[in-house]
Structure 1
Amino acid sequence: MTGLPSPLEIAAAFRDRVRARDRLTGTFVKTPSPHIVEIIGHTGVDFIVLDGEHAPFDRTALDTCLMAAMSVGLPALVRMPGGDRPLIGAALDLGAAAIVAPHVPDADQARAIVRAARFAEGDRGVSPSTRAGRYGGMGAADYIAASDAATGIWAQIEDPDAVAALDDIAAVAGIDCLFVGRVDLAHALGAAHVNDPAVDRAVAAAIRAADTAGLPTAIFAASVEEARAWRERGAAVIVLATDQAMLRTALSRDVATLRAPG
């Protein structure tokens, strides 16, 4: 034994915190680099989301980034195109703590995603020889039970259909968090920006539905000020900015300061 927690131990502890509706702060990782993940693991964030939807994370990049996350005990979620069963299983095999499923329009899709991430009562392919199974060290039965208990699923609310089905989605067994995607939601609603009243009403409805179901709401915030405002409105989980945005912002600011006269 190395003394390091296993991927499933990391996932189980994180899922407990999510389901307890603890106040959690994470960030999106858009750069497929294990070094970025390792550095973020030393900042005190509660989790990261590897963005397999909008960033170039192939399976090798997921593998190395999830290995880096495990080395620093950092829960790493993976955002994958929602209904792709093999990709969901692959991310979990590699040690993802949870799956973030984008564009979940209704309860049927939510149930399909849960099935793709579960062995018992699901249709996930079984291989205990993966990183998540300690490369065969757990045994198949123990691995199946531990994985099903530890794996989290977050449903992203990004479409008008999802807003209409909020209560049904939140009630699906296995869904741990409603994660509101305001940018896609604004686009789908024909709103000019994410602060449009229509988007604001949709977010408020998601928070109410999550509260009713005993789930937390997650939301992306581009700044600390925005994050604090959403916390006050009931979003327990904040995904704060992205690695790329923080690098660009910090370096641009410091370069401008250095070049300023006097």
Structure 2
Amino acid sequence: MTGPGGQRPRRSLKERLAAGERLRGALFRLPSETLVEMAGVAGLDYVVIDCEHGPADTALLQSHLTAAAAQGIDVLVRVGTAEPSLALRCLDLGAAGLIHPHVDSAEDARRAVAASHYPPLGDRGFATYSRAGRFGTVTAADHVAAAAQTLVVAMVETERACAAADAIAGTPGVDAVLVGPADLAADCGFPGQETVQALMGRAHEAARAEGRAVMTIVPGEDGARAAERAGAQLILFNMAHVLMDTLRALARPGSAESTSPRQPLDAPHRAP
């Protein structure tokens, strides 16, 4: 299948992961097409638009996807818990994949996959006249082939989910596992960092054992390098943290706070 103008389409995130690539992306909760464009210009591999903790306005999302397409950067969308209707709209708009939060069991994982794929793997409603189908100008066969490249990321965010990580990761159609360290810490009653790290390690080990990619949220370059050394293929920079670190450093250059900010719950790889 060829793209517009007869050009060969770029490889999907799923294909790049299968080839063993390590991919870096940025997590955005603030609606800003310019930030998405900047991520593409900077050379990141993908962005994540957070519709769970950020706005779930699909008109805004379409603007972000259009900006991303102009820069040749893929977009993953984090939907809410068990939101198949939002998942459908995100994919119809052209998202490269979905991150499903609060996947606690194999059954939750199966529902996430079902919302993300066409039959027989899933039960996504079929349409070629959407933006993803180039407004009806592609054949059904080509559209189905492109949709098969949808990346499905299961978020593991509770102690129960960590215990079921083998079954979650082993669910057909799950491509990657992301541990949500903040929710995991809250679920465990905010224990010490060692407890959270041990649970995360178990989930990551289960993902790798099943041949799934590990996605890890990090606050900066040091965390990214640590995560890559630990085997993560998908690095996701928490841009709220990156921006706040940068702004604090600009506001108080040389101060202890600007050089050693507080330890965030969603940055387990950050050096103390």
Q: TM-score, normalised on structure 2?
A: 0.86
CA gap of 1:191–1:247, structure 2 versus 1, over 3 A, is closer
Bigger relative contact order (CA 8 A; separation at least 6) = 1
CA gap of 1:127–1:169, structure 2 versus 1, over 3 A, is same
Counterpart of 1:245 in 2: which secondary structure? helix
Give structure 2 stretches of 5+ with no counterpart: 255-272
1:197 paired with 2:200, answer no
Q: What's the RMSD between the two structures over aligned residues?
A: 2.1
Query: 237, 240, 259: which one pairs with 2:237?
Result: 240
CA deviations over 1:139-160 (Å, ceiling 9, x no partner): 223312321x211100011111
Contact 2:156 2:162 in 1 (8 A): yes
Aligned residue for 1:226?
223
Aligned residue for 1:82?
81
CA distance, structure 2, for counterparts of residue 230 and residue 176 of structure 1: 18
Aligned residue for 2:259?
none
Counterpart of 2:246 in 1: which secondary structure? helix
| AA of the residue aligned to 1:49 | V
Counterpart of 1:173 in 2: which secondary structure? coil
1:168 paired with 2:173, answer no
User: 1:59 offset after TM fit, Å?
Assistant: 0.9
Contact 1:104 1:155 in 2 (8 A): yes
Aligned residue for 2:114?
115
User: 1:47 offset after TM fit, Å?
Assistant: 0.9
Aligned residue for 2:158?
159
Q: Residues 51-200 of structure 1 correspond to what in structure 2 (within 5 A)?
A: 51-121=50-120, 122-147=122-147, 149-192=148-191, 196-200=193-197
User: 1:62 offset after TM fit, Å?
Assistant: 0.8
CA distance, structure 2, for counterparts of residue 5 and residue 73 of structure 1: 13
User: 1:111 offset after TM fit, Å?
Assistant: 0.7
CA deviations over 1:205-241 (Å, ceiling 9, x no partner): 1121111111111111112112222222222221112
Q: Sequence identity of aligned pairs in percent? A: 35
Query: 244, 251, 259: which one pairs with 2:247?
Result: 251
Number of aligned residue pairs: give it.
Answer: 252
CA deviations over 1:123-166 (Å, ceiling 9, x no partner): 1111101111111111223312321x211100011111111111
CA distance, structure 1, for counterparts of residue 252 and residue 6 of structure 2: 42
CA distance, structure 1, for counterparts of residue 131 and residue 105 of structure 2: 32
User: 1:31 offset after TM fit, Å?
Assistant: 1.3
Contact 2:28 2:238 in 1 (8 A): no
| AA of the residue aligned to 1:128 | T
User: 1:200 offset after TM fit, Å?
Assistant: 0.8
1:214 paired with 2:211, answer yes
Give structure 1 stretches of 5+ with no counterpart: none
1:26 paired with 2:25, answer yes
Contact 2:162 2:203 in 1 (8 A): yes
CA gap of 1:5–1:204, structure 2 versus 1, over 3 A, is farther
| AA of the residue aligned to 1:245 | H
Contact 1:221 1:238 in 2 (8 A): yes
User: 1:245 offset after TM fit, Å?
Assistant: 3.2
CA gap of 1:103–1:19, structure 2 versus 1, over 3 A, is farther
| AA of the residue aligned to 1:190 | G
| AA of the residue aligned to 1:218 | M
